[in-house]
Chains A and B, each alone.
Chain A
């Protein structure tokens, strides 16, 4: 017994260092975003100047707007299609081929999906823009929505659906009044997940956006700025993005926990 306690101490010290490793880079960015000089060389006083510059930059604002459009549109498409798919898959016997197909968008490397979709759109002579990014993001979002909703459906007591039908309710009424209220927290968590994934996604959007500046998304704009060089504005963007995504994750965590029996 005695020999194990120093081991536990080492393990906990290691875990502490891992948290330092994970959070120091993020905290440095947040601190720098409020540094007057904006540079990591010295602290020259607290300032929100860089946030002001951000709000005044039309390129950043239009990119943020584009990302919002893409994320909302692909979330709506994939939440509807993915939820139906999950319900269908959970209804019958599980089929390993269908399971593999539905899991495939989650495991295929980004760059491969990016070139595959670009080749497909080009072959169809389709115009590229925000609409092609929406279609592309829905491919992986459908898979993620389906995964999350299926987990919720596994704990779902199907006899209440049968009871509803026996009592004379139509399919649609049963879905609206019985199934949906039960799976709703899962569906909302799935929608939040697909929104987060879409708003962060870079490489597939980069390939399927086409040439125009009009379809630059937020991650594409961030990439361009990083390539250009270290500028204090990126620290302010980073702080906003980190705050926003942490908020979304904690929200979906909460929803998921409330749903659990």
Chain B
């Protein structure tokens, strides 16, 4: 017992001091007001949360939810068939195919985002090629809009979706599907009634991952959206570093954490129900690797 405490003390102490205390501080800040010259006036108020519901903030919030939801759906639609295709390959090839999926995911996020600026801008590769081929006369507005943000988010997060779905699909084994075929189920019926319901945990894990990372994203809306469509992450950033309204920024950060926890909780319940166990368990996802 004492030995275990000694082993864990530095780690738990570190996390208590540099994770829990800082999070409690911003929660406390969210209940105070910004002073006239920045700083914090220690006068308890719920005003920040009321302002978060005001029309200006609510619009950015709804934009964030819409963009994050679109990115999530597109990532699932792209990722599911890809994960399925990998799971159908010979066993010895599956590992190599997965490493190949994850490899871009490990290079710098900013650089992966920058690559799309090069491809999408008015003088970029796609517009130049299309113009050169005579398909279009004027360059298409591909960059600095919602389309570019969704594309950037899908590009960055689809590898993880494929990984999550693969681990769900590969666990199935061919027996259930063959049974369904033998009983006269068509390919579509088998997918809809057998495969899809059994891979709900993988779908939920992938979806929560993309949605949480997208809604709090700063870099993609900033660089690919050109600030045209600020999202929750950009709002927190500007409240902290431009407006110097730390209490407001803290309130928005706290709202983001609540959204994340609610989604993780929902995911845990879905996974527990799908696996037929009563016990709900939150599966930690390595979100940091993506950002």
Q: Are B8 and A15 in contact (CB under 8 A)?
A: no
Interface residues of B in 109-161 (CB under 8 A from A): 109-119, 121, 123-125, 128, 155, 158-159
Q: A23-B104, A40-B118, A117-B18 are in contact. Are A15 and B81 (CB under 8 A)?
A: yes
Q: A11-B84, A112-B257 are in contact. Are A234 and B114 (CB under 8 A)?
A: yes
Q: A85-B8, A91-B3, A234-B114 are in contact. Are A25 and B81 (CB under 8 A)?
A: no
Interface residues of A in 135-184 (CB under 8 A from B): 135-136, 138-140, 142-144, 146-147, 171
Q: A15-B81, A241-B107 are in contact. Are A7 and B187 (CB under 8 A)?
A: yes
Could you tell me the dominant secondary structure of chain B's interface residues?
helix
Q: Judge if A259 is at the interface, Cβ distance under 8 Å.
A: no
Pull 5 A–B residue pairs with CB atoms less than 8 Å apart, ordered by A: A22-B155, A40-B123, A84-B8, A112-B256, A226-B223
Q: Which residue of B lies closest to A244 (CB)?
A: B107
- A260 CB to closest chain B CB (Å) equals 12
Cβ–Cβ < 8 Å partners of A55 in chain B: none
Binding site for A on B (CB under 8 A): 1, 3-8, 10-12, 14-15, 18-23, 25-26, 29, 78-79, 81-82, 84-86, 88, 97, 99-104, 106-119, 121, 123-125, 128, 155, 158-159, 162, 186-187, 212-213, 216, 218-219, 223, 233, 236-237, 240-241, 246, 249-250, 253, 256-257, 260, 264, 282, 284-289, 291
B119, B219, B282, B286 — which one has the most chain A CB atoms within 10 A of its CB? B286
Q: Judge if A76 is at the interface, Cβ distance under 8 Å.
A: no
Q: A28-B125, A100-B282, A107-B287 are in contact. Are A135 and B18 (CB under 8 A)?
A: yes
Q: Are A242 and B107 in contact (CB under 8 A)?
A: yes
- A221 CB to closest chain B CB (Å) equals 10
Cβ–Cβ < 8 Å partners of A118 in chain B: 240
Number of residues in A with C-beta < 8 Å to the partner? 92
Q: How far is the CA of A135 from the CA of B118 in the complex (A)?
A: 35
Cβ–Cβ < 8 Å partners of A230 in chain B: 117-118, 121
Interface residues of A in 63-78 (CB under 8 A from B): none
Q: Are B236 and A81 in contact (CB under 8 A)?
A: no
Q: A4-B187, A23-B104, A110-B288 are in contact. Are A14 and B82 (CB under 8 A)?
A: yes
Q: How far is the CA of A87 from the CA of B155 in the complex (A)?
A: 37
Q: Are B12 and A101 in contact (CB under 8 A)?
A: yes
Count how many pairs of residues, one from A and one from B, have CB atoms less than 8 Å apart in the complex: 262
Q: Judge if A202 is at the interface, Cβ distance under 8 Å.
A: yes
Q: Are B114 and A238 in contact (CB under 8 A)?
A: yes
Cβ–Cβ < 8 Å partners of A127 in chain B: none
The 7 tightest CB contacts between A and B, nearest first, are A85-B11, A88-B7, A103-B284, A88-B8, A25-B115, A109-B216, A116-B22
Cβ–Cβ < 8 Å partners of B162 in chain A: 18
- A198 CB to closest chain B CB (Å) equals 10
Cβ–Cβ < 8 Å partners of A22 in chain B: 101, 104, 155, 158-159
- B74 CB to closest chain A CB (Å) equals 11
- B281 CB to closest chain A CB (Å) equals 8
Q: Judge if A89 is at the interface, Cβ distance under 8 Å.
A: yes
A88 is contacted by which of B11, B155, B291 (Cβ under 8 Å)?
B11
Q: How far is the CA of A191 from the CA of B211 in the complex (A)?
A: 29
A sample of 9 more A-B contacts (CB under 8 A), given A14-B82, A26-B107, A246-B107, is: A15-B82, A19-B101, A22-B104, A84-B11, A88-B11, A112-B257, A119-B26, A120-B21, A147-B286
